[in-house]
Amino acid sequence: MCKKKVNTVTKEASSKKYFDNLNKISTTIYNIATMFVMLALCTGISIFFKRNGSLESDIVMVYLMGIIVFSYLVSSYFYSFLAAVCGVLFYNFFFTEPYFTLQVYNPGYPVTFLIMFIVGSFISTLTIRLKSQTSLAEEREQRFKSLYQIERKLLGVKSSESLAKVSAEELAKQFSADVLVQFFDNSGQAQNRYVEGSDFFGDDKERLACYETYHSANCCGHGTTLFPKSKAYYLPVIGQGGVLGVIGIGLTKSLVLTPLQMKFLDTIAPQIAVVLERERLYEKQEETQIQVQRERLRTDMLRAISHDLRTPLTSIMGSASTIIYNFATVSDDIKKEFLHNIYNDASWLNEMVENILNMTRIDEGKIALNLEQEAAEEIIAEAISHVKKPTNKHIITAKMPADIILLKVDGVLITQVLVNLLGNAINYTPEGTEISVSVNKIENEIIFEVSDNGPGISETDLPHMFERFYSQHTKVYGTRHGTGLGLSLCKSIIEAHGGKIDIHNREPHGTVVRFCLPAKEDPNDATISLSR
């Protein structure tokens, strides 16, 4: 097995060496051919000039111009010097006596040849250097533009996930390569990961190189001494608190990053670190604010319900003690009245505790919707049965369409919403008030309405009805004021279902609470036509 692996590696190395040599040979042939074509062109132009009576200095200038153009094309010092030598030889061969030989009769020509070679070599060197500097300046300018554009986009991100995505996409455009951006949390666990292009970064060797970069805070991978056989170059993203992440740039076997590209990465990595630290600080502040808000809500809740709990408990204890200690002397009618009071107070306490528990679960994100197919009329009937008691003198009616409306909701929670709405209508309207519950399906929405013909809600209270712990400043016809949690809980439940709820007064008097739920696009949720 090991021998086979060694043979495979040897073949790959031999193949790579062969193609490298072939590439060098082709480059050499191209440069030499270009040089001779350029010298031949200069010779042709010089012959034309000589026949038209031009001076020898003009011919020398033609060859020097050809050497400069050739040097600009190949950008090689060796071939530029070779072109300068060949230019001197061509000039000697074609334009000095005796013609078509390398001999010279005039003793001043060797000095001319030397000066021609020195000038050609010097100008070629300057041309190559100027071209290189121009290319570097253009590349540097492009990098600065890219850096500016990337920094602008980084400043616009709103989360660490989007930061990883934007960074990977922009670096992939910049380097035309596959890019990995991996962030880690304070415990060293991978937090946000985004790959633009081919995801070979998940290989075991690449993962080891990535984690080594994170733990050592040094560059690893292709072109380094650590994991040199890796397919990518890995750079740590270092912030004030240490290493925050790793950037990986996919590279081919023969390609390495240029010093300018390395400098670009060294510049952009701290920028990413600054943005990441800013986002983490912002997220931490948000979590702190949420925690403070939750603590404040708990305090407000305890403060709001302490009195409301004490009042019905005192009433229950008083009614119970009266029956216990005066059982023989109290008439049956009075006993029955006290028992009704105990039942009503206990029911109210049960509803309030249920609202508090549901609101607490929603605040902590622990409430889960148990979505099942339910019939709207069954939900309404269940809610009415909860609030309709022998002592209740209100007229509660249900208006149903000719078709049974099926919807996918958490039946228990939607029933709780209707119970709260009906309870509010009973509590804030006088006896004999008509309360109506209706449901309809309009296009892609299922609309529930709870309406009454009571006195309505003041314009001052209307904008605040769904605020937590807010109670109406109107007359209460029921036994006591509410805790201000009912409508807030209803709003949270409806929004958790993807719906919306609103409240408004009706003409000439009364209140309407309407909530809409999205109709699920499911063949099993279709309406069923029935004759009623």
pLDDT per position as a tens digit, 472-518: 656 666 555 556 677 888 898 898 889 999 999 988 889 999 999 99
* Whether the predicted pLDDT of 452 surpasses 70: yes
Q: How many domains does the chain have?
A: 3
Query: What was the pLDDT predicted at 284?
Result: 86
Residue 404's closest CA among 252, 511, 233, 530? 530
CB 223 within 8 A of CB 232: no
The pLDDT assigned to 2 comes to 40
The H-assigned helical ranges of 156-258 are 160-175, 204-216
392 inside domain: yes
Chain segment 399-427, per-residue pLDDT in tens: 988 888 999 998 888 998 998 899 888 88
Lowest mean pLDDT among 26-40, 55-69, 287-301, 312-326: 287-301
CA triplet 16, 19, 25: central angle to 5 degrees? 140
* Residue 5 clears pLDDT 50, i.e. is over it: no
Q: Please list the helix, strand and coil fractions of the chain in percent, rounded to the nearest 5, in that order.
A: 60, 15, 25
Domain CATH number, residue 463: 3.30.565.10
Query: Within this chain, do residues 374 and 424 fall inside the same structural domain, yes or no?
Result: yes
**Quick one: pLDDT band at residue 527, thresholds 50, 70, 90?**
very low
Higher-confidence residue of 470 and 187: namely: 187
Q: Is residue 309 part of a domain?
A: no
Contact partners, residue 182, CB within 8 Å, separation at least 6 = 164, 190, 192, 193, 210, 214, 245, 246, 247, 248
Average pLDDT, the chain: 82
Residue for token pair 């005192």: 314
- Which residue, of 224, 255, 286, is where some domain finishes? 286
- The CATH number for 219's domain is 3.30.450.40
Comparing 19 with 427, the larger pLDDT belongs to 427
Q: Which residues of 396-430 are buried (b: 16+ CB within 10 A; e: fewer)?
A: beeebeeebbbbbbbbebbbbbbbbbbbbbbbbbe
Its domain, for residue 30, covers 2-148
| Shared domain check, 27 and 136 | yes
* pLDDT band at 249; cut points 50, 70, 90: very high
Residues 126 and 171 in one domain: no
pLDDT in tens, 229-241: 888 999 999 988 8
Whole-number Å distance between alpha carbons of 490 and 488: 5
Of 428, 430, 417, nearest in space to 489 by CA: 417
Please state, in angstroms and rounded to a whole number, the distance separating the CA atoms of residues 142 and 261: 11
| 525 and 477 in a common domain | yes
Cα–Cα distance, 87 to 65 (Å, whole number): 10
* Maximum distance among all Cα pairs of the chain, rounded to whole angstroms: 155
User: Which of 148, 183, 202 is the last residue in one of the domains?
Assistant: 148
Among 466, 468, 431, 473, residue whose Cα is nearest residue 452 = 431
Sheet hosting strand 190-196, strand order edge to edge: 190-196, 179-184, 242-250, 232-239, 220-221
In a domain, 265, yes or no: yes
Q: Hey, what are 423's tokens?
A: 């309870």
The answer, yes or no, to whether residue 137 has pLDDT greater than 50, is: yes
Beta bridge partners of 179: 196, 249
Residue 215: partners with Cβ closer than 8 Å, 6 or more residues away: 188, 243
Q: Are 182 and 201 found together in one domain?
A: yes
Kindly indicate the confidence band of residue 109, based on its pLDDT and cuts at 50, 70 and 90. confident
- pLDDT tier, 180 (very low <50, low <70, confident <90, very high otherwise): very high
373 and 514 in a single domain? The answer is yes
Q: Are residues 135 and 173 in the same domain?
A: no
Angle made by CA atoms 182, 188, 190, in degrees to the nearest 5: 35
- Give the separation between CA 490 and CA 501, rounded to whole angstroms: 8
**Residue 306 domain-assigned (yes or no):** no
Inside any domain, residue 347: no
Q: 380 and 514: one domain?
A: yes
Residue 132 phi, psi dihedral angles, 5° rounding: -65, -45
Shared domain check, 261 and 169: yes
**Same domain, yes or no: 55 and 175:** no
Euclidean distance between the first and the last CA atom of the chain, given in angstroms as a whole number: 81
Is the domain of 405 the same as that of 383?
yes
Single residue among 252, 286, 320 that ends a domain in this structure:
286
Residues 250, 202: contact at Cβ < 8 Å?
A: no
Highest mean pLDDT among 142-151, 440-449, 487-496 belongs to 440-449
Query: Above 50 in pLDDT, residue 7?
Result: no
Placement of tokens 């390495």 in the chain: 256
Q: What is the mean pLDDT of residues 17-21?
A: 65
Residue of 348, 334, 338, 340 whose CA lies nearest to 318: 338
Q: Token pair for residue 341?
A: 């009071």
Q: Establish if 300 belongs to a structural domain.
A: no
Instruction: Give 392's contacts (C-beta < 8 A, 6+ positions apart).
Output: 426
Instruction: Give the pLDDT score at 448.
Output: 95
Is residue 29 one of the residues assigned to a domain? yes
Average pLDDT over residues 194-222: 90
Q: What is the pLDDT of residue 447?
A: 94
Residues 254 and 380 in one domain: no
Residue 464 is classified by DSSP as G
List phi, psi (to 5°) of 279: -65, -40
Model pTM score: 0.49
Q: Tell me whether residue 59 is in a domain.
A: yes
At residue 17 the predicted structure's pLDDT band, cuts being 50, 70 and 90, is low
